[in-house]
């Protein structure tokens, strides 16, 4: 799996959009970008993933650059409950692929009132 680089920490005001960047310059053509988050001492929670098109679900949006070397997770209206460590993980995704997840240190997002 390709390595990712994320800022150590970020702050965001409640109600504003939180934009979390991730660099994955060595990503391969068949590797997806996954985002998980970990709220204090809880298990990692899946947020979203994508290959090359932008993706949106009820939790967040994922913007992947055209060259796929970086991406941004967007929480459109951050709340205090979004305070967590956010992990960007790249991995191959195909039917039956059940490889382990390799977590980095992630970005600690602090949402303040």
Partner 1 sequence: EPEVTQTPSHQVTQMGQEVILRCVPISNHLYFYWYRQILGQKVEFLVSFYNNEISEKSEIFDDQFSVERPDGSNFTLKIRSTKLEDSAMYFCASTRGTLYQPQHFGDGTRLSIL
Residues in contact with partner 1 by the rule CB under 8 A: 34, 38, 41-46, 49, 87, 93-105
The two tokens of residue 80 are 């205090």
- Write down the least CB distance from residue 99 to partner 1, Å: 8
- Closest approach of partner 1 to the CB of residue 15, in Å: 26
Q: Which lies closer to partner 1 via its Cβ, residue 16 or residue 28?
A: 28
Considering the complex, state which of residue 8 and residue 42 has its C-beta at the smaller distance from partner 1: 42
* Closer of 12 and 47 to partner 1 (Cβ): 47
* Nearer residue to partner 1 within complex by CB, 29 or 95: 95
Q: Please return the burial class of 97, using the count of CB atoms within 10 Å of its CB with bins 0-12, 13-18 and 19+.
A: exposed
Q: Least distance from C-beta 26 to partner 1, angstroms? A: 19
Write the DSSP assignment of 37-64 as a string of letters. EE-TTSPPEEEEEESSS-EE-SS-EEEE
Instruction: Tell me the two tokens of residue 79.
Output: 């709340």
Torsion of CA 50, 72, 103, 94, to 10 degrees: 10
CB 47 to partner 1: min, Å: 9
């Amino acid at each position: 799996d390709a390595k990712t680089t994320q800022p150590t920490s970020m702050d965001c005001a409640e109600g504003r959009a939180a934009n979390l960047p991730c660099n994955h310059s060595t990503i391969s053509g068949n590797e997806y970008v996954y985002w998980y988050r970990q709220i204090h001492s809880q298990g990692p929670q899946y947020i979203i993933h994508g290959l090359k098109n932008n993706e949106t679900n009820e939790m967040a949006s994922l913007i992947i650059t055209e060259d796929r070397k970086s991406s941004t997770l967007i929480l459109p209206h951050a709340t205090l409950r979004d305070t967590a460590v956010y992990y960007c993980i790249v991995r191959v995704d195909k039917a039956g692929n059940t490889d382990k997840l390799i977590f980095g240190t992630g970005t600690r997002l602090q949402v303040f009132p």
